[in-house]
Structure formats: structure tokens, C-alpha cells
Structure 1
Amino acid sequence: MRNRIIELIEAANALDPRVVFLTGDLGFSVVEPLQAALGERFVNVGVAEANMMSIAGPLAALGFRPFVYSIGPFVTARCLEQIRNDIVYQNRAVRIIGVGSGFSYGSLGPSHHALEDAHLMAALPGMIVANPGNVAELDRFFALTLDEAQPAYFRIPRESGAAFPVPMFSLDTAAYVVRDGDELTLVACGVGVADALLAAERLERDGLSARVVSVPVVAPFPKTALARVIADGPVVSVFEGFPGNPFSVGVVATLFENGFRNAYAELVAPHAFAHIVGDTQALRRDAGLDARAIAEAARRVVRNGASRRMARS
């Protein structure tokens, strides 16, 4: 999706000369077309992410439209104080692009894995946080937030994501069915949607009908929209990040506030740095976040739900 976000910014620049792009010495082999289009409004700040945020905030105050680009941990954890004070506290419309959500950067190791970035950004008042599952969701969120007067964080993977139809969602309605089913619900965002769809195919071979729901906006969390699309049965949520993330918390809050009484399972990355070296898929498999693990969690939660119904009868 990183290629697509550059294309979207380039298209926005063609219509609006206020677009400014700042990078922390990253993105090369991807950002060159944007550099040529923006000229002096393309700024390589260098390995100085805190300064980059302190530049972006005032640029937004002056009426520019700054986009800030780097790898997830570098553009969130490394410069959190400057995001908090110079952008969010001032309510500046800066678009922060964190590339490489979750384990996307695989063998580059924990320094490049973005597993707590959503927590950090969603904890800031007024920050919009998106974790699109494919290019179409990215396109929609980009269009939604282009004229928003508040800051936004794009949590995007390196992959393009699965192919599924995307409705014209708003920030309030960003939870919708991408595959229907009536026995249980798999709720996911980002790259988790692709694995949830593969898991649903596995479950279908077992005779289980799984609904898959995508939630591309995780802050503010669309609880009302999610409550409307959950099937009457067990729920499994999938998020490629540490426990306590805004997606998993939002799902649980939705279920609790709506009197949900069926079995529930939460799949997240273990609360530890990766202890193996491997590519993205190996790390997801080790963390229990691949399609096989999702399908197994679904089977388990269905069994648990059946046991609870028998105990109550």
C-alpha cells in the first residue's frame, strides 16, 4: 500500500498546491515521482523524526497540508512527544503515514515491527487512526480525511491486501461485512482481513459459516456500526499488534455495551518482542495470527459456545 499512498498524495498535489511531504530519510525507490512533482515542497528532514513533527505542525497552522512519512515505529514511538504537543494538542491537520504495520518488515526485526503504534496514536485525543485492509479502503480513508481539520494516522502494511468490495463508509460507519455467514463472526482490520477471509474458507470446509467483518477505522472506534453487522454467534477478533490495542478494546466495548452473551476470543500478537528471525508470514504464524490460527480459534470458540449453551439448558 505504500506505493498507493504516494500515488494518492501526488493526485492531491495536482489539485492543491498546499500539499507538503516530509520524510525521515525513507521511502526511496517509492517516493521519487512525488519528489519530482512537489519540488521544494518535498522535504527530506533526515533521521530527525522529532524535528519532522515539529516542522509539520506549524506548516499546518500556516495553511499547508503536510503529509509525514516513515516506518511505523519511527514515526510514532520515536517522536511521540512532538506529535502530542506540536500536532495533537494544537489540533493541526497533519497526516502521519506509518508504513509497515505489525510484522510487515519481517526479518528487519523488532526495531521495525509496528506492534504498539496504534495504541500510542489512539491514546491521543482527537487523533483519527486507520488500519486499511486493502487499497480500496486506503483510498476511501484518504478521501474521508483529506479535508478533516484534525490529525490522522495511516497505519498501512507493505502488502496490498485482499481483494474485496469496499462501500462508501464514513468514520462512523467503518465496519461492514466482506463475507457473509451466520454461525460466527471474524472481526479484523488491516492485513488481518485477508487472513480472516482465508480462515473463513477453511471453516466452510468444516461446515461452519463464518461472517468476516472489516473495521478499517480503529479510532474513533465505530461501535454502533460494528454492533449492526455482528452475526448471532461467537466472535473472534484479529489484530496484528500488542494486547490493549484500540481495535480489540473497541470490539470488546461494542460486545459488552450491546449485551453480547456468546463466546468470544481475541487474537493479538504476544506481549513480547519477536524471538525468532523470519519473514512476515513466519512471524505471523509464530504469533498465532495466520489463517490457520484464526480458523482454530474459531473452532474452539464455537465449541466453547456450544458447551455453555448445554450447561445452561
Structure 2
Amino acid sequence: MLGVSEIRNMQMRDAFISKLYEKVKYDKDIIIISNDYGAVSLDKFRNDFPDQYINAGVSEQNIISMAAGMAIAGKKVFVYSIASFIVTRCLEQIKIDICSQQLPVTIIAVGAGYAYSEDGPTHHACEDIAIMRTLDGMQIYSPSNAVMTSNLVDISLDTSMPMYIRMDKGIYSNFKEDINYDLGLDVDSLGNDLCIISTGTIHNVAIDLSRILFENGIRSTVVDIFRLKPLNTKLLSKILEDHSHVVTI
């Protein structure tokens, strides 16, 4: 099993799939459905567990419907695709086939925001959070690093509800091992002069910014909202009450 020192230097998608790979060894009900061969970790999964991997080709709507059917049959289904395709192209299928039946299908979406900026607007995913938040029962996770992403595997396997995990490209070194994932957010506090709120990989910029501010006499609290839905409004409100200045990134 991979250790934290190895995971922290991985791409987020590789960290998630590598952790899932370890689980598949002992659970024949785990299935990955994909339309992409682009990840090395995905190739390893396909080669070693061909009966638990399905490449459905460029047919995203069909992938979602397949996932729903397998979930009804008791399988633990993970859909892997590029965020812009699996969200906007499949909204009706996600809404009707998965969410209306409250099925435990996990959508692994890579290329959040402008991660694939060089590929043009077809690959941009800036509206995915807004879209997925409207769907009944859909949980939304936006991890900030590979270590956090790998830990979401256990959460996704334990859930009985739909889940959407959005991932960025790149390797991000800021991480903590003692996060309480039940809270849905994590706090790093150097003081209450300023509160910086972020989600996803931009959290790494927020952490670096807080250190620069500290060197200049401004003590800040950095909040990483890694679970956007359901949002822990009670804890977030308590944090905001202690700060007169709040910045969101």
C-alpha cells in the first residue's frame, strides 16, 4: 500500500485510482467505467482487473446509465471522465438515473476549472459546481491535494448517496494528515486579522498567501472547504463570526 510520502507527489487522479486499486484486490463489486485511457494508474487498473473495468468509449450519457444499472445490482461504481464532458453532457442522466434513485455512484471528474485550458472551451469546466449543487442528494467534494483525494476513496465506498469529486491537474505539496473529513472543511489559523476561504487546489495558493501575510504582520485563518455539498454552514458561520474581514479565492 502506498504511503503518504509517495501519494503527496502524485497527480490527484493517480492518487485516487491507486488507492482504489488496493481496495479492488479485496472487493469484486468495485467497478470503474471510463471513456479515457489517459492515466497510467487507470491502465494498470485495467490490465490487472479487466473484469472490473469498462471502457465505454465516447458515450458519456450511456456511461451514466450503465453506472446506475450496476449500482442497482449492488455494484460499487466509479465513473471516470473529464469534468466538462461528464457534467454538462450528462446532466439529464445524472439527474434521472442516479440522483432520482439516490444511487451510490461516484463520479471522478478530472480537469476542474481551466485545468485543460490549452484544449479550449470544450474542455473547460467552470460551471460544474453550480450544476451539481442543484441535484438532489448529490455530494460534492473538491480536494486540494493528492493525499486528501486518496482519503476520499474510503468515504466514497462507505456512502449510500451519489458523489461528485472534482480534481485538478498538477502536484500540490500542502497537505495535512489529521483532517476530520466528517466536518467537510479544514482550518489553519495563525490569527483572526483576516479569513481566507477557498476550495480545491487554489487552497495551496491561499496557504502560501497566509504565510506571506504573516511575515508582514497580518495573521490570517485559512479555510479549505473540501466538501461543498452538504456544506457545514454551522461551523463556517462560527468561523466567520470571529473575523471582520473575509476573502474568498
Fold-level similarity (TM above 0.5): yes
Q: 1:127 aligned to 2:138?
A: yes
Alpha-carbon displacement from aligned partner over 1:98-120 (angstroms, at most 9, x marks no partner) = 00111111211221111011111
User: What TM-score does the superposition give when structure 2 sets the normalisation length?
Assistant: 0.89
Measure, in 1, the Cα distance between the counterparts of 2:161 and 2:223. Answer: 27
Alpha-carbon displacement from aligned partner over 1:247-275 (angstroms, at most 9, x marks no partner) = xxxxxxxxxxxxxxxxxxxxxxxxxxxxx
Please tell me whether the aligned partners of residues 186 and 211 of structure 1 are also in contact (alpha carbons under 8 angstroms). yes
Distance 1:84 1:179, change over 3 A: same
Matched with 1:215 is 225
Please tell me whether the aligned partners of residues 14 and 39 of structure 2 are also in contact (alpha carbons under 8 angstroms). no
The residue identity in structure 1 corresponding to 2:233 is: K
Partner of residue 177 from structure 1, selected from 187, 190, 205: 187
The residue identity in structure 2 corresponding to 1:118 is: I
The residue identity in structure 2 corresponding to 1:79 is: C
RMSD: 1.6
Measure, in 2, the Cα distance between the counterparts of 1:19 and 1:207. Answer: 50
Query: Secondary structure of 2:49's match?
Result: helix
CA positional deviation for 1:179: 4.2
Matched with 1:154 is 165
CA positional deviation for 1:83: 0.7
Q: What is the correspondence of 1:38-117 to structure 2 with a 5 Å cutoff?
A: 38-117=49-128
Measure, in 2, the Cα distance between the counterparts of 1:30 and 1:144. Answer: 20
Matched with 1:292 is none
Measure, in 2, the Cα distance between the counterparts of 1:52 and 1:80. Answer: 12
Distance 1:57 1:112, change over 3 A: same
Measure, in 2, the Cα distance between the counterparts of 1:103 and 1:94. Answer: 25
CA positional deviation for 1:53: 0.4
Measure, in 2, the Cα distance between the counterparts of 1:166 and 1:225. Answer: 20
Query: Secondary structure of 1:15's match?
Result: coil
Identical positions, percent = 29
Query: Secondary structure of 2:148's match?
Result: helix
Measure, in 2, the Cα distance between the counterparts of 1:229 and 1:175. Answer: 11
Matched with 1:188 is 198
The residue identity in structure 1 corresponding to 2:108 is: I
Measure, in 2, the Cα distance between the counterparts of 1:236 and 1:101. Answer: 21
Structure 2: 5+ residue stretches without partners: 1-11
Please tell me whether the aligned partners of residues 179 and 186 of structure 2 are also in contact (alpha carbons under 8 angstroms). no
Please tell me whether the aligned partners of residues 164 and 178 of structure 1 are also in contact (alpha carbons under 8 angstroms). no
Query: Secondary structure of 2:122's match?
Result: coil
Matched residues, number: 237
Q: What is the correspondence of 1:272-291 to structure 2 with a 5 Å cutoff?
A: none
CA positional deviation for 1:129: 0.4
Deviates further, 177-186 or 22-31: 22-31
Please tell me whether the aligned partners of residues 18 and 41 of structure 2 are also in contact (alpha carbons under 8 angstroms). no
CA positional deviation for 1:73: 0.7
Which gives a bigger RCO, structure 1 or 2 (Cα 8 Å, sep 6+)? 2
The residue identity in structure 1 corresponding to 2:125 is: A
CA positional deviation for 1:26: 4.2
The residue identity in structure 2 corresponding to 1:196 is: A
